[in-house]
Amino acid sequence: MGRKLLLEHINVPGIETLEVYRKMGGYSAAEKAIKTMQPDDITEEVKKSGLRGRGGAGFPAGMKWSFIDKKSEKPRYLVCNADESEPGTFKDRYLMEKIPHSLIEGMLVSSFALGAKTSYIYIRGEYFYVLRILEKAIEEAYAAGLLGKNIFGTDYSLDVHVQIGAGAYICGEETALLESLEGKRGNPRMKPPFPAISGLYASPTVVNNVETIAAVPHIINITGDEYAKIGVGRSTGTKLISASGHINKPGTYEIELGLTVEEFIYSDEYCGGIKGGRKIKAMIAGGSSVPILPAHLITKTANGEDRLMTYESLSDGGFVSGTMLGSGGFVIMDETACIVRHTWTLARFYHHESCGQCSPCREGTGWMEKVLHRIEHGHGSMKDIDLLVDIAKKIEGNTICPLGDASAWPIASAIRHFREEFEYHILHPEKVKDPKHFAHEPFVSSKLENV
Amino acid sequence: MSKEIVFSAETLAVVNKLIKRYPEGRQKSALLPVLHVAQAEFDGWLSSDVMDYVASILEIKPIEVYEVASFYSMYNLKPVGKCLLEVCQTGPCMLNGADDLVAHFEKKLNIKVGETSEDGMFTLKTVECLGSCGTAPMLQCGADYHENLDETKADALIEKLRAENKRSRYC
Ligand SMILES: Cc1cc2nc3c(=O)[nH]c(=O)nc-3n(C[C@H](O)[C@H](O)[C@H](O)COP(=O)(O)O)c2cc1C
Ligand code: SF4
Ligand code: FES
């Protein structure tokens, strides 16, 4: 059993209530922080912990906090990113639904550290029922004096509000999120200035993911040094992974960073192996935006080393033979899956979600969707494959926000690793007429037969 | 449209509470939540009259409301059936049978995606990942998630919604 922090008390009945949460030691970190520590000491602990942002990019949280403009006369804000819309990702929902106070306590400690007096949680519109759970938890916290004026009898006061979105993946991008929170369309802003200097209402702002913020009280409880001992190298602590696709036990798991991918997929403690005992075909490790990996690169790196669930090991081999930990949205495909069809659904997703500000992203995602639709439905030509690679290349790096890259990577990597399967769709249109074409007769790559 | 477009006193109190969450002069920040409230109050969609009304409440220009309402996928700019069935079709759901589920609803309700059943009861819509990939395939109807669906469960859901005969709402 790996060490559990975020989900340690997940099975305690009533843990969603303030009473039980406190009985299990909840809000003791907040009390310790606010009564006995200076804000900068908290940032220091977070730095020592090595905690990296859990929203996708993995930026060190303590470092991000230290960039906040303290000279500005404007109020400072902490904004929690609960937009969670990256396909394959459902960990934040699980945490907020089951242990809402862990996020509220994290907001309290983090806001105190940043000197924020008002903080917002921006949650995706579809999670209305989670909004209700959070609002109830916040109400309980106000009633108990854990939010509002003079918290723990000190002169620190904090208001926390939850803002609901309305259906737009792009609002997970931090500057689009801030625009949306200001009541506008979710169009990402040009950076710089970064939110730490000019964020919400042009004030200094830190945006962090739900899981990042919820990890902070644990760091205060056990100290940054202890937290840094969990994990491997620069991948410290524990991480929530939401696992889905063709596995026996889909769900959200807390792992110690450094677990092998093999154990995560095949042990009964986690995914419990591939459904129906079928063969594994592909893995997406960190949400739909990261490169897909073929069977032979999942549990081992290209050098034959064990692949670990860490930022470094998953990206070993760069984009040639590696991927990224991303948001922790882990999707497994077995031999019955069609990579072309799956890639097409992702292209459709990015096209639908492009905010439309930059031409390469707005137009390119549409073209990629169209070309993939054509190939998947047996109307493609060989030139289409290179066309896709070309479009992906021209989007990458040429847009305001990373959604452009995120739309290009899954497509480029699918072609890199599964080119033969794309060719098969073009050469055998009659074989792919049935939408479930590989369900009964899996596609076998000639290259992989010997692996 | 005979119904006059004004929030009830109760709803107005909710809206005023929403506005108070933001600093002075930043009442526009309440636009997204207030549009949800308006959509729930006025038959599940946002007519231009409703949007103009929201603009007047938040003291912003109508165009500021239109441009937001047209950006986000959860706002309906046209009337929809009483129950909006939003079936997720993205990667992980597709791997677990979302295509079959959509086809099943099309057949059962005798409509295509984007259409409303003749009795005005159901509108079928496909949506992108709802953060429920581990319990796929799934759909959202109002604030409720219906997960791990198969044809039997889907049929039971349709019967239940028909019997309740209520307008689904997010809030
Ligand atoms: C298109 C796009 C979507 C994103 N969606 C999310 C999201 O749903 N949740 C999230 O926490 N971060 C998301 N991010 C990352 C945020 O921009 C930001 O890096 C993150 O919230 C910072 O928090 P962290 O440092 O704690 O990870 C997204 C980024 C992009 C480009
Ligand atoms: S890359 Fe796409 S989503 Fe991002 S700002 Fe440009 S058009 Fe919008
Ligand atoms: S893909 Fe359907 S809920 Fe995520």
Does the domain formed by B83-164 have CATH 3.40.30.10?
Answer: yes
Q: How far apart are CA A292 and CA A290, in angstroms?
A: 6
pLDDT band at residue A448 under the 50/70/90 scheme: low
**Partner residues linked to A148 by β-bridges:** A158
Domains and CATH numbers, chain A: 18-224 (3.40.50.11540), 232-334 (3.10.20.600), 339-449 (1.20.1440.230)
Residue of B nearest to A168 (CA): B72
Percent of the residues in chain A that have a pLDDT greater than 70, as a whole number: 99
> Are A128 and A93 spatial neighbours (Cβ–Cβ below 8 Å)?
no
In this structure, are residues A94 and A16 in contact, taking their beta carbons and an 8 Å threshold? Answer: no
Chain B contact probe: residue of A124, A128, A211, A353 with most B CBs at under 10 A: A128
Rounded mean pLDDT, A272-294: 97
Residue range(s) of every CATH 1.10.10 domain in chain B = 9-71
Closest CA to A121 of A92, A91, A150: A92
User: What pLDDT is attached to residue B3?
Assistant: 66
pLDDT of residue A62: 98
Ligand 3, residues at Cβ distance < 6 Å: A 87; B 88, 90-93, 129-133, 136, 138
Complex-level ipTM: 0.97
Ligand 2: does its nearest atom lie under 6 Å from the Cβ of A403?
A: yes
Residue A52 Cα, ligand 2 centroid: separation in angstroms?
25
- Alpha-carbon distance of A204 to A293, in angstroms, equals 39
Mean of the per-residue pLDDT values of chain B: 96
Whether the predicted pLDDT of A130 surpasses 80: yes
C-alpha distance from A41 to closest chain B C-alpha (Å) = 29
B14 contact A CB<8A? no
Task: Indicate the pTM of the whole model.
Answer: 0.97
Looking at residue A450, what is its pLDDT? 46
Cα separations (Å) of A273 from A15, A268, A299, B109?
Answer: 30, 7, 13, 37
**Percentage of residues in chain B with pLDDT exceeding 90?**
98
Q: What is the mean pLDDT of residues A266-289?
A: 97
Mean pLDDT of A73-99: 98
Does domain B9-71 correspond to CATH entry 1.10.10? yes
Q: Which ligand is nearest to the CA of A402?
A: 1
**More confident: B2 or A10:** A10
> Could you give the CA distance from residue A350 to residue A239 in angstroms, rounded to a whole number?
26
Which pLDDT score, from 0 to 100, does residue A137 have? 98
Residues of chain B with CATH 3.40.30.10: 83-164
pLDDT confidence tier of residue A451, bands split at 50, 70 and 90: very low
A404 — pLDDT class (breaks 50, 70, 90): very high
Name the burial class of residue A44, with classes exposed (0-12), middle (13-18) and buried (19+) by CB atoms within 10 angstroms of its CB: middle
Q: Averaged over B95-116, what is the pLDDT?
A: 97
Residue range A360-377: average pLDDT?
98
3 state DSSP class of B124: strand
B36: closest chain A residue by CA: A166
Count CB neighbours of A295 within 10 A.
18
Cα–Cα–Cα angle for A368, A372, A378, rounded to 5 degrees: 155
The length of chain A, given as a count of residues: 451
Average pLDDT over residues A33-62: 97
Assign A372 a pLDDT band (cuts: 50, 70, 90). very high
Q: Is the pLDDT of residue A414 over 80?
A: yes
CA of residue A329 relative to chain centroid, distance: 6
Chain B nearest CA to A224, separation (Å):
31
pLDDT of A447 over the 80 cut: no
Q: Which atom of ligand 3 is nearest to the CA of B129?
A: 4
- Three-state SS string over B1-34 comes to CCCCCCCCHHHHHHHHHHHCCCCCCCHHHHHHHH
In residues, how long is chain B?
171
